[in-house]
Amino acid sequence: MKRQRLFGTDGIRGTANRFPINAEVALQVGAATAKVLLARAGGHRRTDYPRPRIVIGKDTRISSYMVEQSLAGGICSMGADVLLVGPLPTPAIAFLVQNMRADAGIVVSASHNPYQDNGIKIFDHDGYKLPDSVESEIEKLVWDALEKKDFGDQKDLPVNERIGRAIRIDDAGGRYIVSLKHILPKGFHLQDVPIVVDCAHGAAYKVAPMLFRELGARVIMRGCEPDGTNINKAVGALHPELAAGAVVEFGAKLGISLDGDADRLILSDETGAVVNGDQIMGICALELKREGKLNKNTIVTTPMSNLGLELFLKENGISMIRANVGDRYVLEEMRKNGLNFGGEQSGHLIFSDFGSTGDGLLAALKVIEIMQRTGKNLSELKKQVPLLPQVREDVRVREKKPVAELPEVQKLIKDAEKELAGKGRVFVRYSGTEPLIRVMIEGEDLKMIRAQAKKIAAAFSKAVGAE
């Protein structure tokens, strides 16, 4: 088999039980991760616990059991212990790695993808996703092992009592909930406040309702009954209309829509209107600036964020840096520039003073905190952040051919930019996690940008579209 890149913008991802998300690869990823990270281990290691440890969490896909156990087998084969915490949000694993002084954390999840897919993403001992260089090192070991059908020289592998073991951690969810409540002001509560919580039948289906109940809220649950095959299916952050409808039906204060691994958030206001990641970023950035807590009065977004958000921030004395698409790249830009807030239109929101990755529950709590402090409903706060009309067309592709090599597409993009006359944007990119090309156009004339997006999408479909 020809070597190919395993890690994308958010770990390894693909169809479950097909390369690279199969038991054989997962076994080698576990072993390679243990080998690389243990070789790099430094002063973070607990002196009272000599054996290295790696936390594994997962979402609710039926295939997550297979991937979890294969990873655990590979890790144990290298003499490290595995801490199994079961279904928990991705940000919970990032927190637990630090909280439990572990050497690394692995999340088995394909985030917002349908249940047929799955993925593997890895956190270092500090709770941050691995840099590209370390992923490349792991990837090389995995390919070496797959080609040799073993993991190096067998005589170097631990035997007898040095083989690792897997340990179930029962209180992991409670630890994460306590960490979230600790960021709230003293005396904060939601006594009898009706809130809709849609967990997308995913990793947060237990901890999210429990968190808001412990704060006193009256929780109306949606998407909290996983069966292994219904994750993200007409629920969650990809389908916020479900929570929005429940908000109107039950007269709730707001609706919270999470994705399959709960690292992204979309809200619904009290009228049932959807509030996307750009609007949430605008609300939070303005409040952080007013409190004097927004580092350098600057946030990080991506090219997908609405031009209206950029103009709103500029009017309020806030600068905006656009990083590459993907929450890992947003975070890299934040760390490089010493910034403490950023995110994506899709709902990945990073408050780095409190967490090392996007966290849907943390973001929801921060918005609710702003609502309580200002005395404003979410609809009032949302009105502060006017957005330009924006449309997006996704095209499934058979190959990710460079856009520069597609002359018909290039011509249509230039035509659209000419018609926008500097009062909008055209942005196209291949997805880093799916075989898709995304066409996004924004401007003042919704009818025009919709027509232009469809033209460009059709040209992509003709040039590189899947059969």
How do residues 198-255 score in pLDDT, each as one tens digit?
999 999 999 999 999 999 999 999 999 999 999 999 999 999 999 999 999 999 999 9
The answer to whether 35 touches 135, Cβ cutoff 8 Å, is no
Q: Which two tokens stand for residue 205?
A: 């289906």
The answer to whether 80 touches 51, Cβ cutoff 8 Å, is yes
Residue 181 confidence (pLDDT) above 90: yes
Distance (Å, rounded) from C-alpha 187 to C-alpha 135? Answer: 43
Q: What percent of the chain has pLDDT over 70?
A: 96
Contacts of 86 (CB under 8 A, 6+ apart): 57, 58, 168, 172, 173
Contacts of 223 (CB under 8 A, 6+ apart): 198, 199, 200, 201, 202, 205, 235, 236, 242, 258
Pick the catalytic residue: 64, 111, 179, 346?
Answer: 111
The pLDDT value recorded for residue 49 is 57
Q: Look at residues 147, 149, 105 and name the one whose alpha carbon lies nearest to residue 11.
A: 105
The pLDDT value recorded for residue 43 is 44
Select the CATH number that applies to the domain covering 183-273 from these four: 3.40.30.10, 3.90.400.10, 3.40.120.10, 3.90.79.10: 3.40.120.10
pLDDT band at 432 (very low <50, low <70, confident <90, very high): confident
Distance (Å, rounded) from C-alpha 362 to C-alpha 29? Answer: 30
Q: Is 111 a known active-site residue?
A: yes
Average pLDDT, the chain: 94
The answer to whether 295 touches 338, Cβ cutoff 8 Å, is yes
How do residues 456-466 score in pLDDT, each as one tens digit?
999 999 999 98
The pLDDT value recorded for residue 1 is 75
Model-wide pTM > 0.85: yes
Contacts of 303 (CB under 8 A, 6+ apart): 322, 324, 325, 427, 429
CATH level 3 topology of 390-464: TATA-Binding Protein (3.30.310)
Burial environment of residue 188 by CB neighbours within 10 A (0 to 12, 13 to 18, 19 or more) = middle
Distance (Å, rounded) from C-alpha 363 to C-alpha 348? Answer: 9
Mean pLDDT of 421-438: 90
Q: Superfamily for 276-366?
A: Alpha-D-Glucose-1,6-Bisphosphate, subunit A, domain 3 (3.40.120.10)
How do residues 378-427 score in pLDDT, each as one tens digit?
999 999 999 999 999 999 999 999 999 999 999 999 999 999 998 899 99
Q: Look at residues 153, 118, 363, 396 and name the one whose alpha carbon lies nearest to residue 237.
A: 363
The answer to whether 462 touches 396, Cβ cutoff 8 Å, is no
Neighbours of 155 (CB within 10 A): 6
Element (H, E) at 254: strand 254-258
Residue extents of the structural domains in the chain: 7-173, 183-273, 276-366, 390-464
Q: Look at residues 168, 180, 202, 34 and name the one whose alpha carbon lies nearest to residue 99.
A: 180
Query: At 163, phi and psi to the nearest 5?
Result: -65, 140
pLDDT band at 467 (very low <50, low <70, confident <90, very high): low
- 390-464: same fold as 183-273? no
The pLDDT value recorded for residue 151 is 57
The pLDDT value recorded for residue 262 is 98
Q: Superfamily for 7-173?
A: Alpha-D-Glucose-1,6-Bisphosphate, subunit A, domain 3 (3.40.120.10)
Query: At 287, phi and psi to the nearest 5?
Result: -70, -40
